[in-house]
Amino acid sequence: MSRCGVLAGVVGLAGLIEQAQAFVGSPVLRARAFSPSTSHKLSMVTEAKDSYDVMLLPGDGIGPEITAATVNALEPLQSLFKLNFKEALIGGAAIDAEGSPWPDSTLALAKASDSILLAAIGGPKWDGNPRELRPETGLLAMRSQLGLFANLRPAKVMKELVDASSLKPEIVEGVDIMVVRELTGDVYFGTPKGIDELPSGERVGYNNMIYHEHEVERIAKVAYDVAMKRGKRLCSVDKANVLDVSQLWRDVVIKMSEDYPEVELTHQYVDNAAMQLIRWPKQFDVMVTGNIFGDILSDEASMLVGSLGMLPSASMGNPDGPGVFEPCHGSAPDIAGQDKANPLAMILSAAMMLRYDLGRPAEADMVEAAVDVVMDKGYATNDIQREGTTAVGCKEMGDKVKEELAKLVAAGAGAEAAAVGEAAAAR
Ligand SMILES: NC(=O)c1ccc[n+]([C@@H]2O[C@H](COP(=O)([O-])OP(=O)(O)OC[C@H]3O[C@@H](n4cnc5c(N)ncnc54)[C@H](O)[C@@H]3O)[C@@H](O)[C@H]2O)c1
């Protein structure tokens, strides 16, 4: 059992966190509820271990900079457990070095890893390439070969960035939504599809919106499990008033609610959900929906947050394989190599990796809390500059998060030692 696991058994995680908070003394930390690990595990979560193999895919543009900043920021965790980082190629960098955007060597390393942290791919250099030599083709190959059917996109509004949203502060303040999107089915992949010519000479284009029960079951299970780890409220989004495929979706989601009596299940039609996200987004905890509706709603939800540089995401699936954790933004070629990129979306993606793939929810909370403190202290990269903030570059932002994370880890270790001492004295 890990040191944290032992400690949680002695004093309870809540006690540990309270001591850590008192040590750090930040109002942000006091306000933040460190979620205790629940026994309800996601189907794809690895058991907590002392050592993890994490594949790094820096990719292109700002990718290498934000990857370096993220690895640096996570360094304090190495005293709790080992994160063995191994780099591999994807996207344009892989095309240049290996002639493929998703080389076999990368796939092999991916399959041997516990988890994958991806930065971003693409850039103008490869835009004119044929489809098989485009960086995006590497992303699609990765998703399909690793069986990544679930996409998790949080939209959490930090209080420091409330004014960066296009909505009024009272609407967005406190918003904390997780959109769970099915990623490998629906009208994007259904067959038959195509453009045919009718005998009249007129052309007709068509796609097939199709879901099998097992596809709905597995994504609904992810959503219910995520809801159990959060506010236990799940809103399933469909178009069951019009579409048969949505009626099947709804039937399956309702049937599965029998296994999750603690989760409050609601349903919204997709048109209403799109309105409600703008009208009163605080009503949502976890939303689950199909591929095409999720594509649109997750982008809509992320805009509540106001900055691309703050948005993490997770793609997961095969319980025996690694998940992929990556910022929502692209490779930002316009600022690449200038130390201007915001690494926080990638650092927050690493927090999702700890929570959803590596069985380390307490450490995920610590990483997120460290980011909160850095924001609270007013450090900001170019993209999130506001009045009264201190400008920092990509590397320094990583250093600041590392500094705060080190304090939290040290506070946890101190609390652990004290608790073990107290327990020994009581015996
Ligand atoms: N998953 C991915 O890897 C992914 C996603 C989207 C786009 N792309 C690729 O990225 C390239 C650029 O695409 P784009 O310009 O449309 O989108 P982009 O997200 O790269 O950039 C959009 C704008 O946001 C800024 N920005 C993005 N991330 C930032 C960060 N972390 N810190 C500060 N500013 C940031 C950029 O400077 C730019 O002004 C294209 O080749 C595109 O295909 C990749």
How much is the pLDDT for 307? 77
Determine the atom of ligand 1 nearest the C-alpha atom of 382.
Answer: 33
Residue 7 tokens, joined: 């400690």
Q: Between these two residues, 22 and 94, which has the higher pLDDT value?
A: 94
From ligand 1's centre to the CA of 343, what distance in Å? 13
Is residue 256 located within the same domain as residue 330? no
Alpha-carbon gap, residue 309 to 307, rounded angstroms: 5
From ligand 1's centre to the CA of 64, what distance in Å? 14
Q: Between these two residues, 8 and 331, which has the higher pLDDT value?
A: 331
Q: Is 420 helix (H, G, I), strand (E, B) or coil?
A: helix
263, 280, 305: which is the final residue of a domain?
305
pLDDT at 20 over 80: no
From ligand 1's centre to the CA of 249, what distance in Å? 33
Catalytic residue flag (residue 299): yes
Q: Give the dihedral sign, CA 328/330/332/336.
A: positive
**Domain count along the chain:** 2
Catalytic residue flag (residue 372): no
Q: Structure pTM?
A: 0.84
Active-site residue, from 176, 295, 339, 399: 295
Active-site residue, from 53, 176, 299, 339: 299
How much is the pLDDT for 270? 98
In a domain, 3, yes or no: no
Catalytic residue flag (residue 188): yes
Average pLDDT over residues 139-150: 91
Kindly indicate the confidence band of residue 412, based on its pLDDT and cuts at 50, 70 and 90. Answer: confident
Active-site residue, from 221, 229, 239, 402: 239
Alpha-carbon gap, residue 160 to 169, rounded angstroms: 11
Is residue 344 located within the same domain as residue 380? yes
Considering only CA atoms, which of 49, 141, 54 is closest in space to residue 94?
141
pLDDT per residue as tens digits for the range 346-403? 999 999 999 989 999 899 999 999 999 999 999 999 998 888 899 999 999 999 999 9
Active-site residue, from 127, 244, 251, 271: 271
Is residue 246 located within the same domain as residue 228? yes
Is residue 296 located within the same domain as residue 362? no
Is residue 100 located within the same domain as residue 196? no
Query: 344 in ligand 1 pocket by Cβ < 6 Å?
Result: no
Is residue 114 located within the same domain as residue 226? no
Is residue 178 located within the same domain as residue 243? yes
Mean pLDDT of the chain: 88
Catalytic residue flag (residue 320): no
Query: 342 in ligand 1 pocket by Cβ < 6 Å?
Result: yes
In a domain, 420, yes or no: no
In a domain, 137, yes or no: yes
From ligand 1's centre to the CA of 329, what distance in Å? 5
In a domain, 15, yes or no: no
Q: Whose CA is nearest to atom 37 of ligand 1?
A: 332
Catalytic residue flag (residue 356): no
Is residue 129 located within the same domain as residue 164? no
In a domain, 423, yes or no: no
Considering only CA atoms, which of 103, 119, 37, 38 is closest in space to residue 344?
119
pLDDT at 29 over 90: no
From ligand 1's centre to the CA of 333, what distance in Å? 7
Pocket perturbation via mutation, ligand 1, pick of 298, 308, 392 by most ligand atoms within 8 A of CB = 308
Is residue 134 located within the same domain as residue 233? no
Is residue 184 located within the same domain as residue 297? yes
Determine the atom of ligand 1 nearest the C-alpha atom of 345.
Answer: 31
Q: Between these two residues, 17 and 241, which has the higher pLDDT value?
A: 241
Is residue 209 located within the same domain as residue 109? no
Burial of 420 (0-12, 13-18, 19+ CB in 10 A): middle
In a domain, 425, yes or no: no
How much is the pLDDT for 4? 33
Range of the domain at 186: 158-305
From ligand 1's centre to the CA of 212, what distance in Å? 34
Report the greatest alpha carbon distance in the chain: 90
Is residue 351 located within the same domain as residue 212? no
Considering only CA atoms, which of 282, 152, 320 is closest in space to residue 227?
152
In a domain, 201, yes or no: yes
Long-range contacts of 389-395 (CB under 8 A, 24+ apart): 393/339, 393/340, 394/62, 394/65, 394/66, 394/69, 394/339, 394/340, 394/341, 394/342, 394/343, 395/65, 395/68, 395/69, 395/72, 395/339
Pocket perturbation via mutation, ligand 1, pick of 148, 151, 329, 385 by most ligand atoms within 8 A of CB = 329
In a domain, 30, yes or no: no
Kindly indicate the confidence band of residue 43, based on its pLDDT and cuts at 50, 70 and 90. Answer: low
282, 305, 328: which is the final residue of a domain?
305
- Most confidently modeled of 37-41, 162-166, 181-185? 181-185
Question: Which CATH number characterizes residue 242's domain?
Answer: 3.40.718.10
